[in-house]
Amino acid sequence: MSGRINSAATETEVLIFKKENRLKEIWRRLKKDKLALAGLFLVCFFIIMAIFAELIVPYAAAVTINPHNRLARPTNEFIFGTDGFGRDLFARCLHGARVSLSIGFITAIATAIAGSIIGAIVGYVGGKLDDIVMRALDIFSAIPSILFAMAVVAAMGPGIFNICVAITVTSIPGFVRIVRSAVLGIAEQEYIEACRAGGTSTARILFRHVLPNAVGTLIVNTTANVSQMILTAAILSFLGLGINPPQPEWGSLVSEGREFLRTAPHLTLFPGLMICLASFAISVFGDGLRDALDPRLRT
């Protein structure tokens, strides 16, 4: 890094070089955290199972009703047993994973994108815009997010896409707040002042200098959000909003199983265990990731 950097190409190269180094450093720190690795492994396992669900057990098995084999205990053929309609619970959990996990990841990413853009602009531009947006957010946060999401789902009708929209809309305000305060903190730093003094454009400062420095915060919160979103989706479908039967989703599986809690508790416990494990694995990984991204935050 001696010598002057005078072309845009060199600057990009330097950035990429630094990025690679940083990723390596983060990975090196993450590797040391055995618990986080276990979480990552479990998350990947869940994702792979969800992606190849169709190859493991066809979707038909998850929805085919078989009145002759109702409420079967776990056997070799049906390792999680069968539900009140004689459907293979393992197949239902597996295909439910597709729904639950995709809702979790899609909404978390959508929230992150929308939240960062709004938060960054609001935080950096400040002034009247900031006031107006913050007051609007006050209104949103005065409504319990579950109720708000339910109202949105009710208004838009059931379906995975609508659930995603409802969850995203309700979680954007929280994300905006986080990004905004991160951006406010960074915008105060002297190197941003230096950029401004040097005549760098606002957009460039924002997307080249401010946001990259908030990336740690964004990733950490997005990871935490994935497990939060899975829970929210589970609560919504537990309450019978959102997923159209007979499509399986973890929350609705728990809700369906509740009817047979006394006689066949495994109907509730298996999908419950799925929610529990997936959400825990993501949280553990997210925690390790936070420590690896910023050792100063290590607690």
| Residue ranges binding another protein (CB under 8 A) | 32, 35, 135-136, 138-140, 142-147, 150-152, 154-157, 227, 231, 234-235, 238-239, 251, 254, 258, 261-262, 265, 268-269, 272, 275-276, 279-280, 282-284, 287, 299
Comparison of 109 and 277: residue with beta carbon closer to another protein: 277
Buried b / exposed e along 77-96 (16+ C-beta atoms within 10 A): ebebbbbbbbbbbbbbbbbb
Among the residues of 8-88, which ranges form H helices? 8-32, 34-51, 53-56, 59-63
Shortest distance, position 241 Cβ to another protein, whole Å? 8
Sequence-ordered list of residues with C-beta below 8 angstroms from that of 234, at least 6 positions apart, any chain: 100, 249, 250, 251, 254, 275
Shortest distance, position 197 Cβ to another protein, whole Å? 27
The phi and psi torsions of 11 (rounded to 5 degrees) equal: -60, -45
Q: Which two tokens stand for residue 82?
A: 């069968």
Cβ–Cβ under 8 Å, residues 154 and 216: no
Comparison of 85 and 280: residue with beta carbon closer to another protein: 280
> How many C-beta atoms lie closer than 10 Å to residue 295's C-beta?
11
Comparison of 100 and 206: residue with beta carbon closer to another protein: 100
Shortest distance, position 39 Cβ to another protein, whole Å? 10
Comparison of 105 and 140: residue with beta carbon closer to another protein: 140
Comparison of 56 and 134: residue with beta carbon closer to another protein: 134
Shortest distance, position 173 Cβ to another protein, whole Å? 12
